[in-house]
Amino acid sequence: MALVKDILETMEYGPAPEAAAEVLAWLKARRRFGHFIDGGFTAAGKTFAIDNPATGENLAEVTQGTAADVAAAVAAARAAQPAWAALPGHERAKWLYALARHVQKRDRFLAVLEVLDNGKPIREARDIDVPLVSRHFYHHAGWAEMLADEFPDAVPVGVCGQIIPWNFPLLMLAWKIAPALAAGNTVVLKPAEYTPLSALAFAEICAEVGLPPGVVNIVTGDGETGAALVAAPVDKIAFTGSTEVGRIIRRATAGTGKKLTLELGGKSPFIVFADADLDAAVEGVVDAIWFNQGQVCCAGSRILVAEAAEADFTARLTARLGKLRLGDPLDKCTDIGAIVHPVQLARIRDLVAQGQAAGAQLVQAECQLPAKGSFFAPGFMTGVHPANPVAVEEIFGPVATLTSFRTLDEAVELANNTRYGLAASIWTENISLALDIAARVKAGVIWVNATNLFDAGAGFGGMRESGFGREGGREGMAEYLKLPEPKPQPEAAPTRLDAAPLPGTPAAPGIDRTAKIYIGGAQKRPDGGYSYAVNAGSTHLGLAPLGNRKDIRNAVEAAHKAAGWGKATGHNRAQVLYFIAENLSARAAEFAARLASAGGDAAEVEASIRRLFYYAAQADKFDGAVHATKSAHVTLAMPEPFGVMGIACPNAAPLLGFVSLVAPAIAMGNRVVAIPAQSMPFAATDLYQVFDTSDLPGGVVNIITGARDELAKTLAQHDDVAAMWYCGSAEGGAMVEAESAGNLKATWTLRNRDWQGPGAQGPRFLARATQVKNIWVPYGE
Ligand code: NAI
């Protein structure tokens, strides 16, 4: 036996395994699981094996869900939804509270089950996952209670299909189910095929608390079952998983009217400045990438370290690596558990080998890997060229890349040199520097001197190809609610695109003209120089340019160059919008006469002036929130502009429709490439003269006239356009949603509406023009 003196010397721990007997007995009693549908378990169907990744031993068999199983679950959820939604918020709050209490009562059981199923260390499951699960249900019990006050006009979305991954099986379930239920929705959830067991245990908890049948349904299975759920008649899909599958789901739901949130992959930067507390930053790496086997979507998997600190930091990191304990995940002393599945282990090995083949060096812990199970020794890679697969692809294993930078600008450039934008971690003792970098990094969640902090009270979600939508807090609740939409108005028929006026269409007296497109603040002839004849009834109004792909490309480039607009203060942007309104007011009679002679509604001009005033007023008022989340932190929820947005305007209300969409977008700091009404583009191109005299910087609004849906398609496909609004036909909306899958841009497809009626302006337009960045800042003790 080792002497205490020796132990003090080596600091070795003895084994301290958590008991698993209760969970194993529970599994043994069930063995083959069916689905949980309409309040009860179905008989097991065709099953597949669930093995313990740490030992390879079989734990259970679960049923591969068929389309018929999914249909039955959706039907149960549909039947249960009206009564669930009709409950007073307080009643739903009580159910959520009961779920929270029961999760808490079973916390040890659930933590052990999660470890057996997923392979993560018990300390993570016990101290992070399960407490966050009950916290999530408590928090959302509160939202159910407050719903009527906080979201007075909103109604639940309906039946929600929810698909989750294997890295935080029970926590992802809580993130999905708690807000959905609080809002009055019912759900069909499909857990990941590697880790369905805690969801099935949660189903038992639902039955145990007596939750009304059909409110929560769990269908197990693989991607095919997931695809069946996406195709089923649900009202919303909430998905967390890989970007690749996110894209498939974006395309599959295009045009269906299903609400969609996607929380996808990441390649998050972990930025260490020379003045950082390097030991704290090293512990940050342990938490960010090693402790959880790197199986976290927001893992800080790209370490960027200031050159001045590189040698010191690398030495400390290497020393820490040597102290990590890999092994039995049930052991309370284990830091690094098992990789979820042999398939995932093979993927990690393959990517790391590719990285080495491309010139990177692997610094890896020299741990003894257990004889059985899926394990990968943690490490980091140096000498990583930006194009190396390990710098680009999500490894999803305990291996980070380490690169140095010299200047702040280089740090930001490297941080943003990825198609993802999920999270970032910034380490420095200089708060000004930290917040400067936080503003410049494109990511949905930023941690200052911390990493991987989560709380039900703060939103979580990504930018760019990390998806759209937020989970948690007020933003997450909004994703499970909808506001009544104004009654759709018929779209004006698309104008013909004849190059010359049709025979017998006389020119309108005094208004015949040839418009130009506007790119970067200047009038341009379209590339190619083609025009189309704009007619109102049988009157020829003039010629408008037929913009093409190249015009769109040039306009997007000009919009990118006008990035200063996003940094201007809300007050500055308000001043410009007021000035536009004032200058439009000075020319109101002229605009009204032109609209009237084109068969339009002269009242659009006054309504446009008011709308500009409204968004000018909002420019410095639509702002974020400060959440009290973890102790010693505050979380700033900042609505940020997307950057460059594409906007396809309605054919009806050619002036007011344009102003109603462009004004909120630019009020929030976006730059816009707008396609005005195809049938009457002059209303927008005339407005440009007003912009010109109102100090609107060139490139903030670019106007490309022509075939609206063709131009909208080019915008939707453009990788440098971050968000896209389309107001037009149902087919056009479906096309925009499908084409936007390339870079997973956030889209909003609206039907034409009465632009002078209710629902034509308001905060919902501003919320759609922004994405919330949640910045975790140290605060207090
Ligand atoms: P995945 O995206 O294939 O699986 C996530 C979930 O989607 C699972 O429940 C799966 O059954 C379901 N699914 C798969 N195909 C589907 C389809 N066509 N329609 C509907 N649902 C579908 O992720 P996978 O294969 O487990 O992991 C692959 C890689 O994805 C990982 O190596 C990692 O890089 C990334 N990943 C990212 C996660 C994140 O949280 N962002 C989580 C899990 C994986």
Residues 396 and 371 both lie in one domain: yes
Confidence of residue 542 (pLDDT cuts 50, 70, 90): confident
Selection from 322, 386, 395 nearest residue 353 by Cα: 395
User: Would you say residue 496 lies in a domain?
Assistant: no
- Check if 263 is active-site: yes
How far apart, in Å, are the Cα atoms of 707 and each of 255, 421, 495, 539, 572?
Answer: 20, 33, 9, 20, 34
pLDDT at 526 over 80: no
Q: Are 129 and 233 within one domain?
A: yes
Judged against a pLDDT cut of 90, whether residue 11 lies above it is answered with no
Instruction: Say what percent of the chain tops pLDDT 90.
Output: 86
Is the same domain home to 100 and 161?
Answer: yes
- Which stretches does DSSP call E strand in 408-463? 423-427, 445-448
Per-residue pLDDT band at 5 (split at 50, 70, 90): confident
**pLDDT at residue 504 greater than cutoff 90:** no
Task: Fill in the DSSP letter of residue 407.
Answer: S
pLDDT tens-digit profile of 380-408?
A: 999 999 999 999 999 999 999 999 999 99
pLDDT band at 110 (very low <50, low <70, confident <90, very high): very high
* Alpha helices per DSSP H over 157-306: 169-183, 197-209, 223-231, 243-253, 278-285
Taking the model in full, what pTM does it have?
Answer: 0.96
Looking at the 3D structure of the chain, how many domains does it have? 3
The whole-number pLDDT of residue 765 equals 98
Query: Any idea what the CATH number is for the domain that residue 306 is in?
Result: 3.40.309.10
Residues 607 and 753 in one domain: yes
Structure confidence by residue, pLDDT tens digits, 249-300: 999 999 999 999 999 999 999 999 999 999 999 999 999 998 888 888 888 8
pLDDT value at position 293? 86
**Higher local confidence (pLDDT), 490 or 495:** 490
* pLDDT value at residue 500: 76
Q: How far apart are CA 573 and CA 664, in angstroms?
A: 11
* pLDDT at 9 > cutoff 80: no
- Number of helices (H) and strands (E), helices first, in the chain? 28, 33
Say if residue 286 is in the same domain as residue 411.
yes
Terminal-residue alpha carbon distance, the chain: 43
Domain boundary among the residues 236, 264, 292 is at 264
- H/E/C letters for each residue in 458-505? CCECCCHHHEECCECHHHHHHCCEECCCCCCCCCCCCCCCCCCCCCCC
d(CA 177, CA 172): 9
Q: In this model, does residue 528 exceed pLDDT 90?
A: no
Q: pLDDT tens digits for 690-747?
A: 999 999 999 999 999 999 999 999 999 999 999 999 999 999 999 999 999 999 999 9
522, 562 contact by CB (below 8 A): no
Of the residues 297, 298, 649, 727, only one is catalytic, namely 297
Question: Is residue 131 over pLDDT 80?
Answer: yes
Asked if residue 428 lies in contact with residue 434, where contact means CB atoms within 8 angstroms, the answer is yes
What is the per-residue burial (b if ≥16 Cβ within 10 Å, else e) of 114-130?
A: bbbbbbbbbbbbbebbb
For residue 418, the CA-to-ligand 1 centroid distance in Å is: 20
Structural domain that includes position 750? 548-772
331-342: pLDDT as tens digits: 999 999 999 999
With a cut of 80, say whether residue 2 has pLDDT above it: no
Are 731 and 596 found together in one domain? Answer: yes
**Ligand 1, CB cutoff 6 Å, lining residues:** 163-167, 190, 192-193, 222-223, 226-227, 230, 240-242, 245, 248-249, 264-265, 297, 347, 394, 396
Domain C-terminal end among 461, 483, 515: 461
Same-domain check for residues 230 and 276:
no
Q: What is the pLDDT of residue 613?
A: 98
Q: Rounded to 5 degrees, what are φ and ψ at 327?
A: 160, -145
The pLDDT of 347-374, averaged and rounded, is 96
| pLDDT tens digits, 29-65 | 999 999 999 999 999 999 999 999 999 999 999 999 9
Indicate whether 171 pLDDT > 70. Answer: yes
Q: Per the domain annotation, does 295 fall within a domain?
A: yes
Asked if residue 89 has pLDDT above 90, the reply is yes
Q: How far is CA 291 from CA 119, 128, 339, in A?
A: 12, 12, 12
pLDDT tens track for 618-663: 999 999 999 999 889 999 999 999 999 999 999 989 999 999 999 9
Q: Kind and range of the H or E element at 312?
A: helix 307-321
> What's 626's domain CATH number?
3.40.605.10
Q: Is residue 362 part of a domain?
A: yes
**Model pLDDT, residue 509:** 61
How many angstroms separate the alpha carbon of residue 481 from the centre of ligand 1?
25
310 and 243 within one domain: no
Average confidence score pLDDT of the chain = 95
Site to substitute for ligand 1 among 245, 251, 264, most atoms within 8 A of C-beta? 245
d(CA 61, CA 41): 14
Which H/E stretch holds residue 354?
A: helix 342-357
pLDDT at 773 over 60: yes
Contacts of 494 (CB under 8 A, 6+ apart): 651, 678, 679, 708, 709
pLDDT at residue 505 in the model: 74
pLDDT above 80 (res 480):
yes
- Distance of alpha carbon 747 from alpha carbon 608, whole angstroms: 24
Short-list 487, 530, 532, CA closest to 677: 532
Cα distance between residue 167 and residue 617, in whole Å: 44
DSSP E strand stretches across 39-124: 40-41, 47-51, 58-63
Q: Which of 114, 16, 111 is nearest to 338 (CA)?
A: 114
Distance 438 CA to ligand 1 centre (A): 29
Give me 312's structure tokens: 């010191």
Mean pLDDT along residues 565-580: 98
Q: How far apart are CA 250 and CA 258, in angstroms?
A: 10
Residue pair 634/641 in contact by the 8 Å Cβ criterion: no
Which numbered atom of ligand 1 lies nearest the CA of 191? 9
Q: What pLDDT shows up at residue 10?
A: 72
Q: How confident is the model at residue 1 (pLDDT cuts 50, 70, 90)?
A: low
Does the residue 61 lie in any domain?
A: yes
